[in-house]
Structure 1
């Protein structure tokens, strides 16, 4: 059966296509395996997504929304003079991925699997289902991101002698899970998440830090950057946010870097130590939550077969250090952590759309009692 798996992320969306019994492969859109989740509303109301949306945003930033997934609870977006339902914005992104998959297949995929944060309840999942229907998908299955990530890592080893921990830090949310498994299958033992932690929050913290260094030069102009009133202001703010994001990513590779600033402000030198000081409390909170999730599963970190990092922000050197100190386990990260969930969706059987048991090869009874916690290069996140 042809299956399209879509990791619908806050900043970027990744698709994986499996057809005619062949191994799954990432779907390239506009020459990249990551599709920007941004949307732009043309004057006639037509929605443009991905890189095309980002290019058009330079002309009129008021018609642009870079992270519609983060605004799911608002119901609608105001893009310029156009009001766009959240489901329609989601559908435009999903449709673009579906069109590319259909072009490669020569026919629509028979089934589509779409990821969502573990903390999304029924109402948010309904929005995603509505968007999938508007995108023209049939036989849609929704799967929590940590479940998909666990399926991916289980598929890599082929056999797990113990449970694994999943630490999933995306652009908009943090999810974690503990999954027990053997060569025959695995099950989610515990899961939890933080809705207010992601790479966008790290960007915001760095922007505030930069502002403290320069805002005294011209407080009024800095406020215009924070709350743009004109098209020129919005263009300047968008460029600044991109420069801040690039600086953050650079600090994963270098000890320091400059953030280019618009006039009348001078460029700001930031260091990795400064960034780590800003984000350490939040990352420590996430590490503590993973530790609590492990305990809720009735386990200790020493009994885990491994802790796997998912999502672009997991490239931060500080994160691996904090987790190792907190858990006593050195985490594992792939070369491309952004694609782990999308490939994992392929390995999750369709029966788990509304079930926390994941029979990777055949159903298996886990040796630990299931537990559940409370609700909810370049690293674009998800």
Structure 2
């Protein structure tokens, strides 16, 4: 029987795991690492690189490489890499294909089925786009699981013998989720989920980069792509150093056209710089607790998830908000993948797992466009009428009655929206249809509009005319920015023509990409010294002597480690 794998498709890093011998096991990639950078690059021969090799080429070949594309899932935004353009689903599919290949190498068998974790605050369009990415990668996505729920599974919250309430604080590279969950009698119920799909560790990195530019009267928009990537790399390194060494000032130096631009920053100054971002973290937490109707002191555990929660300013914020230290005894980069593997085991009905019921909620309110009366005969259209409010447990079916606003009106247009804004123009349109109603005086005819929303994110909207009972309905399966089935088939055919860099050669390709990155950062004799080693290694690759290549790989890797340790370039 083919194994079902669990995948954390992250903004910064991705990981894959499997439920095996009664536990979750993370699967190493071709380089032996369990975390694979969510990066894609086009190599010199036109083949696609993913993971560590692509990550290093983001700095050396910015026009051929990309990252953080998860933020644009569910939109029609395209990224140009060389002569080709790719949608976020296609870029994600390259990463998923890489994880699938790693799993097949580890398990020694073909992998067809997967559980993929997504941010709890992902919209319907983003969830559908994730499923399409899996399909493009040759995977049958058996289930999407919310990342906070996956994290709770990895912490074994469901293994307790008493009711427990806990909050998951999930800050990744590009998205932020907060979920309040309640476990009781074999049921893990999501009480509330909220978040910010455009807030993550990348924003803290950008704040540092922007600060360096402001202090030196530079404009990021005028930097060359190479200089901009170098600045981002410096800011990312400074952020990590602040995390590891919060008591010391960190120096950042960007060289542009042989002129150095410098900034020093310590932990206290960084906290002031990040203040607006920290405030953005507070609001979803407060909203989730309000929606869940759970007081802070009744929470049994606060669990941190996502690599960005390693930042001291974030942990300090959480500790202040809840008056206690959060749970951090599992690697925050790995907990989602571990939990997705548990869910994969549940889907496969593994005998070693007790049956667990997972409930979910609608992450956004769903409703229709209506008119609001402002005078005796005056109505203003464009107002949002929620029918299923956010954080309602799904599956759910709700109905609201609406009436005509004009005498002898014979049709109503049911326009469906998703969001929280008062006016429909500020929400996301999901579709519309017309319903004929009896010609009567205003307010004496109308429709009962029923929304039915299932756990797969499929919304059915049914309208029944009153008083005669005529009915029309639509199923909202397509979303603006999401590929149609025909478009998916076209994209699959196009991707089949693209050459994927062989997995068995990835270790050497990743080493060369790392060497190229460090070479660009060095100067003088060190640069020439490294160039000679790179040329020698490439020559050995051409000779295809496995023993010589292995020895040279180790030698070049050690040299690069020494340059990285110096951090003087």
Specify the TM-score bucket, using the shorter chain as the normaliser: 0.7 to 0.9
- What secondary structure sits across from 2:254 in the alignment? coil
* 2:245 maps to 1:251: no
Deviation at 1:331, TM superposition (A): 1.5
Deviations 1:114-148, CA, capped at 9 Å, x for gaps: 11112222222222111111111125321121221
How many positions carry a matched residue from both structures? 355
Which residue among 269, 274, 278 is the counterpart of 1:279? 274
Deviation at 1:45, TM superposition (A): 5.2
Say whether the 8 Å CA contact 1:259–1:267 is kept in structure 2. Answer: yes
2:121 aligns with 119
Q: Indicate the structure with greater strand content.
A: 2
2:15 aligns with 14
Moved more, 323-332 or 312-321: 323-332
Deviation at 1:155, TM superposition (A): 4.3
Say whether the 8 Å CA contact 2:121–2:193 is kept in structure 1. Answer: no
Counterparts of 1:73-112 in structure 2 under 5 Å?
73-109=75-111, 111-112=113-114
Say whether the 8 Å CA contact 1:174–1:195 is kept in structure 2. Answer: yes
Deviation at 1:327, TM superposition (A): 2.6
Deviation at 1:156, TM superposition (A): 7.9
Structure 2: distance between partners of 1:27 and 1:314: 23
Deviation at 1:363, TM superposition (A): 4.0
RMSD: 2.8
Q: Structure 1 residues 104, 350: CA separation in 2 closer, same or farther (over 3 Å shift)?
A: closer
* 2:222 maps to 1:234: no
Deviation at 1:207, TM superposition (A): 0.8
Q: Indicate the structure with greater helix content.
A: 1
Say whether the 8 Å CA contact 2:115–2:343 is kept in structure 1. Answer: no
Structure 2: distance between partners of 1:331 and 1:375: 31
Deviation at 1:58, TM superposition (A): 4.8
- What secondary structure sits across from 1:332 in the alignment? coil
Say whether the 8 Å CA contact 1:291–1:327 is kept in structure 2. Answer: no
- What secondary structure sits across from 2:278 in the alignment? helix
2:560 aligns with none
1:333 aligns with 328
Structure 2: distance between partners of 1:364 and 1:28: 28
Moved more, 256-265 or 327-336: 327-336
Moved more, 179-188 or 189-198: 179-188
Deviation at 1:24, TM superposition (A): 1.8
Q: Structure 1 residues 156, 147: CA separation in 2 closer, same or farther (over 3 Å shift)?
A: closer
Q: Structure 1 residues 371, 65: CA separation in 2 closer, same or farther (over 3 Å shift)?
A: closer
Q: Structure 1 residues 159, 371: CA separation in 2 closer, same or farther (over 3 Å shift)?
A: farther
Counterparts of 1:292-311 in structure 2 under 5 Å?
292-311=287-306
Deviations 1:212-269, CA, capped at 9 Å, x for gaps: 2222xxxxxx34x5344xxxx3223212211110101110122221113214124321
- What secondary structure sits across from 2:148 in the alignment? helix
Deviation at 1:278, TM superposition (A): 1.6
Deviation at 1:49, TM superposition (A): 0.9
Say whether the 8 Å CA contact 1:302–1:329 is kept in structure 2. Answer: no
Say whether the 8 Å CA contact 2:180–2:288 is kept in structure 1. Answer: yes
Structure 2: distance between partners of 1:151 and 1:67: 26
Structure 2: distance between partners of 1:375 and 1:250: 39
Say whether the 8 Å CA contact 1:247–1:259 is kept in structure 2. Answer: yes
Say whether the 8 Å CA contact 1:192–1:375 is kept in structure 2. Answer: no
Structure 2: distance between partners of 1:281 and 1:171: 17
1:165 aligns with 167
Moved more, 25-34 or 302-311: 25-34
- What secondary structure sits across from 1:179 in the alignment? strand
Say whether the 8 Å CA contact 1:39–1:66 is kept in structure 2. Answer: yes
- What secondary structure sits across from 1:348 in the alignment? helix
Q: Structure 1: which 5+ runs fail to align?
A: 216-221, 353-358, 377-382
Say whether the 8 Å CA contact 2:346–2:355 is kept in structure 1. Answer: no
The TM-score, its normalising length taken from structure 2, stands at 0.58
1:131 aligns with 133
Structure 2: distance between partners of 1:365 and 1:84: 35
Structure 2: distance between partners of 1:302 and 1:351: 32
Q: Structure 1 residues 364, 237: CA separation in 2 closer, same or farther (over 3 Å shift)?
A: closer
Structure 1: distance between partners of 2:60 and 2:234: 18
2:69 aligns with 68
Q: Structure 2: which 5+ runs fail to align?
A: 348-352, 361-388, 393-417, 421-569
Counterparts of 1:172-321 in structure 2 under 5 Å?
172-182=174-184, 184-215=186-217, 222-223=218-219, 226-228=221-223, 233-254=224-245, 255=247, 256-262=249-255, 263-321=258-316
- What secondary structure sits across from 1:251 in the alignment? helix
Q: Structure 1 residues 159, 341: CA separation in 2 closer, same or farther (over 3 Å shift)?
A: farther
1:219 aligns with none
The TM-score, its normalising length taken from structure 1, stands at 0.84
Moved more, 116-125 or 321-330: 321-330
Say whether the 8 Å CA contact 2:4–2:344 is kept in structure 1. Answer: no
Say whether the 8 Å CA contact 1:41–1:79 is kept in structure 2. Answer: yes
Deviations 1:153-173, CA, capped at 9 Å, x for gaps: 234864454210000001111
Say whether the 8 Å CA contact 1:118–1:192 is kept in structure 2. Answer: yes
1:147 aligns with 149
Q: Structure 1 residues 162, 375: CA separation in 2 closer, same or farther (over 3 Å shift)?
A: farther
